[in-house]
Amino acid sequence: MRAYFLAVPILFLVVQLAAQQPPERTTVSDILKKMGSSKMDERENAFDEGSNLLASENPAPKDIERLRLGMIGLLTSENAKNFPDEEMAKVAKTSGCGNGADNCAGDGEAYDEDADFESSRYIQRLISTVEGFNDERAIPALAGAVCWGDSVTKALLALGDKALAPVLEQLKSRNSSLRMCSLDMVISLEAPNHLVSQLRIKELIRSSLNDPDPTVRIIVIRAIDCRKDRQDFVPLLQEVAKTDPFILPADGPAFDGGDGGKFYPVRADARKGLRHIQNNQPCGFG
């Protein structure tokens, strides 16, 4: 009996000592591993843990380096998820996923506005953090996030001329949104920045009028319509107005009576732009 009573306080002491032990410290390796998770909430939590560690007092230089590179890599992987390769997506759809005869993960899920808002907020925080590194190694990741707004453009410009090449390269991207956003950024550098020559801009606009996505071609036509040198593009617009192949079903004739009662939306926009130029009217497709 006496041994029993002696054992109780010893056990109690052991429990107390265990409770007083500090919680196991999350390591940089743990954080980096979670950044590679397939679940967004885990990646976001890892980003928050990494941000807190960077903001803590006197983090080790090697930890700072590893976390910065990890966050740059995280932004790169998030870009790939937000702006996927559209050609690969088409292949996946025709080969099973998304063709209505499969059980693909996420297929048919309801849109969650709150989740989308939280996701966007997380990406914007991640971009802001990577921008703040002012690190040339972040240029490709920031170029891939160019659709997220002016802050990305400013961050790229702050990194100098070397940031332009990755943006120009994205004009060849297999994601139409990235092509459009990259073209918008490059056009904005013509003036007042003058980082890209007018001749180069014109070449890019001409090539984009042959973009495989009709939405991109429409955006380019509307950009031409608002340029001071739009008169220079008249021959190109005339060609597009006659030959663009994209057609949509129409209940009646095209808006301007062209194309023999069929509706070619890119052609119709090209004709509208031509009318604005010929009649010296302000731009606008409202």
Write the pLDDT tens digit of every residue in 41-63. Answer: 999 999 999 999 999 988 899 99
Last residue of a domain, one of 109, 133, 157: 133
Q: What angle do CA 189, 121, 24 make, to 5 degrees?
A: 125
Residue 70 included in any domain: yes
For residue 242, the enclosing domain spans 211-286
The answer as to whether 203 is a domain residue is: no
pLDDT digits (tens, 9 = 90+) for 118-168: 889 999 999 999 999 999 999 999 999 999 999 999 999 888 888 999 999
Q: Quote the number of domains for the chain.
A: 2
Is 284 a domain residue? yes
Residue 272 lies in a domain: yes
156 CB-near residues (< 8 Å, 6+ apart): 139, 142, 143, 146, 163, 164, 167, 185
Closest CA to 209 of 175, 185, 245: 245
Residues 66-82: tens digit of each pLDDT: 999 999 999 999 999 99
Euclidean distance between CA atoms 125 and 129, whole angstroms:
6
Q: Give the global pTM.
A: 0.79
Is 70 exceeded by the pLDDT of residue 193? no
Predicted confidence (pLDDT) at residue 91 exceeds the cutoff of 80: no
